[in-house]
Structure 1
């Protein structure tokens, strides 16, 4: 993928920018930190793969903007493509993919963003992970292989080659293998149980034929007795009909007797009501006179109520007017108090003004002192303007001299610390050797613990699989227990039928079926308890295994740190050999620094400039303390200016107060006159007098009104008696008619009861003449029930045998199917066992790494020969001899590793012994070879190289080596982009892209 053009709009720190890559071979992207250099690279990855460093999708949009758009044009496989990716804030994105044709760009966009993204990956043959690990050399990744331990290098290589998918396949194969193994064991147990059950088929067939013959004989006898029973039941039914008829007639006789009694009671009650009404009607004249007196009293009370309403209304209105008059007077009094307060305030202000005017002579003398002090401050200000730049220059010179002095002291302290460390390191060499041996022994012991931990884990998995099988069997037995419980629930019904043949059950068969079902229920429940006990035991074993696993894991927690410690100790042991030579060099440098500090001959030009500045400052004779005292003198006499302004304000206020006082005194006199007029001649006062006269004219007496109310309450009983009299006049004729109707109904009921008594005697005589076949029917029903129980028992046995025969036939089919399933499970188990080994670390993954390493080694050495003039060579070693427990080295076991052997003209040496330049060339060659390898495995040519390797972490010599390395491999790439913020490296490249951040966003400038 070779970039051609990049257009940005509202992407991260960019508002509107574009960059044309045409003609660029090696270019430097430079600018200050935070200017937007990395954002330029992020725009490419976001356009092609939709990936960036932003946590949320909307974070790529420039702050304050609503939409982002990136247009990226590039070449790949001799074709030119263009990708346009846009996104609205809070909405989904839009992705367009185009290819250049003679007539212009043609769309390759799919249906949706996902389909378009798949089309892009299909054409460029490079996903995001491969791109950032191949074409994009990120900072800190160049020496990753060399800094990791040999065992971790293989993990890093496997991660880059995306071999972790084989770990998932291995785990899936293991899981499938365990499932097929458990299924095969379960099928084996089922086949053994089925084989024992199938041996009962012949015995079941013979018993079934004998039961069918006995059942036919019993059914014939039972049919003859049923016909005889039906004839007797007809005779019994006729007799039962007569009995029911007699019972019905007797019930009607009893109902008529009850009706006669009820009518007699009602007749007596009506007579009593008629007597009460006659007593009320006899008092008609007395009741009418009392009611007329009550109406007269009520009319008088209504007249008094009208007077009471008028009196109450007039009294309330008078009270309202009185409150209104009081409110008006209070308002005028409040205004009077306000005006009096204003007059008192003016008098107080007049006294304060007289006090202020009395200090005018003192203020004029103070003003003369202020003028003298200000002339002194002006003179010192002019001297300060001349001295300030000189003092700033002197301070800068002194700071530079102090920094040089501090640097010499710091360097001397650093040399002393280094010398102490080297001396300590030399003394610690025997201790380091002993420590390396002790750490090695601890690591050997932990290797054994790791093997034992693996065994504990396998045993725990075996126990968990056993529990899963127990849980499956427990669910089956719980289901069977539920079915048996359902059968028992059905048998509790008095009309229960056989659960097998669905025929009615007599008492004998019911007891047998219930007893058998209860027995099966208890057996199943007992088996469930066995399963639960086994599960409890297995759970306890798993808990013990987990505890042991945690204990061993805690011991192994320091395994990696011990291995790292052993490497560090070995490196420290190696570094102690060069300590003596370094100590001599440090001693010479310390002596030179101590002499410079004692004599003070450091920074001579700065010290000369400082001496000249001190002489000139003495001539000016400027003192900062005198200047500060002069300023304080001005501030001390500034109160006179403030007092002068107060005196002028006091004179003006005195004139205003003199004109305001007569107005306030006149207002006070007017308010007092208004209060007197409101109390006597106002409208409210006149209305109050008129209302008082009207209340006297009404002449309402509360005592008379109360006496009249009491008389009305006492005469109110005549109203109730009058209503009772009117009701009696209306009910009396109705009750007389009701009494005659009751006498007629009672006579009719007595005649009907006599007819029913005659009918009862006739039916009783017929029953006495008819025979009763009840005893014969009971004896015959008992015989039929006994024979029915025998039939039901035979039918149940036959049904059980038929069901057993059907189950055995089904079991035979299942037996044959399970045999085939067992063979299939064993075959699948073997297949997944082989797949587990193939997908494991020592299978396909190891084979792929073994195949990749020669190519990686050849590519690394090819690049390294060009970077080092054929002076350096690397070799990748994947196996080495491990430590053996015996004295014979030939029995030593080979262990997997990934060691990197480095050789130069002096032979093979450790990585730490190479210089910084050589180590950097080795790291750079390995990282670049990995990048080429990943790109080739993705099916894409590595034509673009982006290096963000951190120029800022290198010294001047390191930067030169990095630039030389980039120029050495430039011919292998179509475009190389490097990122730096160091200005002095701009000229080292063919072209540079300068990035500057402004208020309008980051801006791009291409300089060739």
Structure 2
């Protein structure tokens, strides 16, 4: 992917920006922290994959904006594509994918965003995670490999290669294997339990037959007792019928007696009520006169109640009018107090204004001095405008001279260090040649032993295979001997039949068959002993071969270390080949650099320009101290302007006060007259006088009204007695008739009591003739109940036994089904256990890492050779011998999985921590870049774009120079390289710069070529 153009609208810190990448090969994205450098890279990833560092999707939208648009044009495999992505705040998003054709862009967009995103990833063959781990070298990831423990490096590499999917598959396989293992164990437990239960089937069947016989006996006895119970219950039912009739007659007798008693009580009550009504009717004349007097008093009370209501209404109207009059007067008094308060405030303001106006002379003198100070400051400001560009240019020239001096010094130190190393290498060359020959001799000897070890191993495998065949033949012989022995045992029976045709044998045929079978048994027995002897010989040979193999393994233990040592020595020897010529060139360069630094013969044009600037600055004679004093003088007299504004404001306020004072006096006089008029001659005062006249005309006296109301309350008892008299006149005929009726009913009930007494005596005679069988019935019922309980218990037991037999039949079927399920679960357990091991860290993951490490090593050494001039060499080692114990001489040496990184230079193999910062950075950069290329290759695409953000701020000037040299060394391998930094020194090393500045209108871009 090669970027061509990026257009941003309301993306993060950008409002509107466009960046054209055409013509950029190696460029630097520079600017202050927070200016928006990283937002450019976020815009590329957001446009293509919809991913960014924002926490939510709406966070990519610029603050205050409603929607964001990003257009990214790039070239991939000589085809130009364009991606347009936009999003509205709180709404939906759109994604378009287009390809450039001779007639313009043609849409490749699918129906949905997800389908379009998949199409983009298919064209690029690159997803977001692979991009940020390959094309984007992020800060802090370069030395991640080197600083971790060897046992942790494989995990880091697995994370970069996305091998976690195999770990997930391994965990799923483990879970499934555990499930099938648990399922198999559970099924086996169920089968054992079912087998124990099935063994009880015969005992349960026999017990069922016994219980059925007992049930039949109990049912017969129960039928006989039931017939006798029915006879006794018939007699008892007849007796209970007569007892019920007796009870009913007795109840009727008691009811009649109760009716007679109630009738006597009602008759006495009615006669008493009749006497009370006769007494009330005798007072009719007195009650009628008292009721007439009550009606007369009630009429007088109604007349006085009308006057009372009219009087109350007039008093209420008067109260409301008085409240209105009081409110109007209070409002006028409030206005009067407010105006008086305003008049007092005007007096205070007039005193304050007079104090300010007294300072007029002093302020005018200060204003004159302020004007003189400002004229002097303007002169110095104009001179500063002439001097400032010259000072900035002088600082730039001085920085250029300092950078050139630093570069020459760094180059001198680097060449001197390299020359010292070359001298040391030249002195070590004979020793290296001798060491290479000695190591090569040892390796040749060990190679021969390795070949012999392979032959020993092949011979051991051959003996093992031959031994397995012998063991198989031994099992066949044992099986045949068993069959022949069984035939011989069968032939010992006098009535034996032929084992082949199943026909009876006569004596002749019996002898032939026995003789033939015994001969076969003897031959197979001899073959069996021969096989046993051969197995013993093979076992002894294999033991000898194992001991020899272990001895050779111990002798070959230093083989890998010797190979690594030979590689290091050959690399060191190869590096010393052209030492003499390189030393001469370095000495010449050192002398030239030392002369330039001593005489200052570098950056001559810049130094000449700097001297001219110094002369111009002296001619202008600008002094920053005088300029600062002039500013202070202006600030010292600026108080006069503030005081002048206050005086003008005081004069304006005094004019307003003079005009306002007469108006307030006139308002006070007017309000006082309104208050007097409201109290004497107003509409409300006239209405109050009219209401007072109306109250006098009503002539209502409260004492007369209260006396009349008391008399009415005292006479109200005649109204109640009058109502009682009217009710008595209506009730008296009814009460007299009821007394006559009750006397007749009492005579009838007395005759009914005598009849009921005769019927009761007749029923008692009948009961004496029928015997009472209740005790016999209870005894028989208890006997039947006890036998019923026995029968129910036997039936329950019989049902339980039948249910157990059915359950055992179902268990038998379940036993057959679960047997097949157990076999299936065991097969699944074996399959998923094998899959878990295959997907684990020692399976496919280890195999993939083992395959990719040689590529990573070759790619790293290729890059490192270009960065260091074949001075450094890296080797990845995945296994090493474990620590030897006391019994190590008798056992095989155990190999430990690791990921050691061996670094060799002209001095030999050394620890990573002993290398200088520049060398360590080159090693880290080579490993990280090699990983990036491998990740891109695994994704099926070429790495054409490279973004480097490796924390340049942690590097000194020498480190920055080395990094710049490293980037230039690999520039031809990429179509576009972008570096991100905020360091001024680092960005000056690139001719193409993308400068990012933060402004109130958002981040702005400026491309410098």
Fold conserved between structures, TM > 0.5: yes
What is residue 934 of structure 1 aligned with on the other side?
935
Q: Please list the CA deviations of residues 570-610 of structure 1 after superposition, one character each: whole Å capped at 9, or x if unmatched.
A: xxxxxxxxxxxxxxxxxxxxxxxxxxxxxxxxxx999x999
Change (3 A) 1:228 1:97: farther
What is residue 208 of structure 2 aligned with on the other side?
208
Q: Please list the CA deviations of residues 709-753 of structure 1 after superposition, one character each: whole Å capped at 9, or x if unmatched.
A: 322222221111111111111222232343344445445555555
Change (3 A) 1:988 1:733: same
What is residue 900 of structure 1 aligned with on the other side?
901
What is residue 258 of structure 1 aligned with on the other side?
258
Would you say 1:785 and 2:802 are equivalent positions? no
- Matches of 2:764 and 2:322, distance apart in 1: 105
Secondary structure in structure 2 of the residue aligned to 1:859:
helix
What is residue 54 of structure 2 aligned with on the other side?
54
**Structure 1, 989-998 or 852-861: larger mean CA deviation:** 989-998
Secondary structure in structure 2 of the residue aligned to 1:716:
helix
What is residue 85 of structure 2 aligned with on the other side?
85
- Matches of 1:998 and 1:139, distance apart in 2: 26
Q: Please list the CA deviations of residues 759-807 of structure 1 after superposition, one character each: whole Å capped at 9, or x if unmatched.
A: 5455444444445544554444344334333323332332333333334
| Alpha-carbon shift at residue 932 of structure 1 (Å) | 1.9
What is residue 950 of structure 2 aligned with on the other side?
949
Gaps of 5+ in 2: 403-609
Secondary structure in structure 1 of the residue aligned to 2:229:
helix
What is residue 925 of structure 2 aligned with on the other side?
924
What is residue 128 of structure 1 aligned with on the other side?
128
Secondary structure in structure 2 of the residue aligned to 1:126:
coil
What is residue 477 of structure 2 aligned with on the other side?
none
| Alpha-carbon shift at residue 285 of structure 1 (Å) | 0.4
* Number of residue-to-residue matches in the alignment: 796
Secondary structure in structure 1 of the residue aligned to 2:141:
coil
Change (3 A) 1:718 1:12: same
| Alpha-carbon shift at residue 111 of structure 1 (Å) | 5.8
What is residue 854 of structure 1 aligned with on the other side?
854
Secondary structure in structure 1 of the residue aligned to 2:942:
coil
What is residue 229 of structure 2 aligned with on the other side?
229
Change (3 A) 1:276 1:343: same
What is residue 516 of structure 1 aligned with on the other side?
none
What is residue 145 of structure 1 aligned with on the other side?
145
**Structure 1, 209-218 or 370-379: larger mean CA deviation:** 370-379
Secondary structure in structure 2 of the residue aligned to 1:902:
strand
Q: Please list the CA deviations of residues 15-45 of structure 1 after superposition, one character each: whole Å capped at 9, or x if unmatched.
A: 4445565666555545554443322222222
Change (3 A) 1:239 1:888: closer
| Aligned pairs (5 A) from 1:812-891 | 812-817=812-817, 820=820, 828-886=828-886
Change (3 A) 1:274 1:356: same
Q: Please list the CA deviations of residues 523-551 of structure 1 after superposition, one character each: whole Å capped at 9, or x if unmatched.
A: xxxxxxxxxxxxxxxxxxxxxxxxxxxxx
| Alpha-carbon shift at residue 182 of structure 1 (Å) | 5.1
What is residue 409 of structure 2 aligned with on the other side?
none
- Matches of 1:913 and 1:740, distance apart in 2: 141
| Alpha-carbon shift at residue 157 of structure 1 (Å) | 0.8
What is residue 796 of structure 2 aligned with on the other side?
796
| Aligned pairs (5 A) from 1:348-747 | 631=637, 667=669, 675=676, 698-747=698-747
- Matches of 2:41 and 2:876, distance apart in 1: 33
- Matches of 1:990 and 1:376, distance apart in 2: 54
> What TM-score comes out, normalization by structure 2 length?
0.65
8 Å CA contact 1:387, 1:622 repeated in 2: no
Change (3 A) 1:285 1:186: same
8 Å CA contact 1:839, 1:845 repeated in 2: yes
8 Å CA contact 1:373, 1:630 repeated in 2: no
What is residue 487 of structure 1 aligned with on the other side?
none
Secondary structure in structure 2 of the residue aligned to 1:90:
coil
- Matches of 1:12 and 1:340, distance apart in 2: 63
| Alpha-carbon shift at residue 855 of structure 1 (Å) | 1.6
**Structure 1, 88-97 or 751-760: larger mean CA deviation:** 751-760
What is residue 304 of structure 2 aligned with on the other side?
304
8 Å CA contact 2:28, 2:994 repeated in 1: yes
| Alpha-carbon shift at residue 239 of structure 1 (Å) | 3.8
Change (3 A) 1:764 1:643: closer
For the aligned residue pairs, the C-alpha RMSD in angstroms reads 5.4
**Structure 1, 372-381 or 728-737: larger mean CA deviation:** 372-381
What is residue 509 of structure 1 aligned with on the other side?
none
8 Å CA contact 1:383, 1:622 repeated in 2: no
- Matches of 1:894 and 1:683, distance apart in 2: 122
8 Å CA contact 1:134, 1:930 repeated in 2: yes
Gaps of 5+ in 1: 408-603
| Alpha-carbon shift at residue 134 of structure 1 (Å) | 1.4
Change (3 A) 1:651 1:116: closer
- Matches of 1:134 and 1:991, distance apart in 2: 23
| Aligned pairs (5 A) from 1:228-377 | 228-313=228-313
| Alpha-carbon shift at residue 60 of structure 1 (Å) | 1.1
- Matches of 1:846 and 1:256, distance apart in 2: 113
| Alpha-carbon shift at residue 184 of structure 1 (Å) | 5.2
8 Å CA contact 1:882, 1:892 repeated in 2: yes
Change (3 A) 1:66 1:252: farther
Change (3 A) 1:739 1:86: farther
Change (3 A) 1:683 1:746: same
| Alpha-carbon shift at residue 857 of structure 1 (Å) | 0.9
| Aligned pairs (5 A) from 1:93-242 | 93-97=93-97, 112-179=112-179, 191-242=191-242
- Matches of 1:345 and 1:9, distance apart in 2: 60
- Matches of 2:113 and 2:87, distance apart in 1: 11
8 Å CA contact 2:42, 2:53 repeated in 1: yes
| Alpha-carbon shift at residue 133 of structure 1 (Å) | 0.8
Would you say 1:14 and 2:14 are equivalent positions? yes
Change (3 A) 1:739 1:116: farther
- Matches of 2:888 and 2:675, distance apart in 1: 134
> What TM-score comes out, normalization by structure 1 length?
0.65
8 Å CA contact 1:384, 1:622 repeated in 2: no
8 Å CA contact 2:373, 2:634 repeated in 1: no
Change (3 A) 1:700 1:223: closer
Q: Please list the CA deviations of residues 190-239 of structure 1 after superposition, one character each: whole Å capped at 9, or x if unmatched.
A: 55555444433332222222222332233233334333433443444344
Change (3 A) 1:389 1:263: same
8 Å CA contact 1:204, 1:801 repeated in 2: yes
- Matches of 1:103 and 1:616, distance apart in 2: 64
| Alpha-carbon shift at residue 269 of structure 1 (Å) | 2.0
What is residue 519 of structure 1 aligned with on the other side?
none
- Matches of 1:643 and 1:6, distance apart in 2: 61
- Matches of 1:620 and 1:795, distance apart in 2: 127
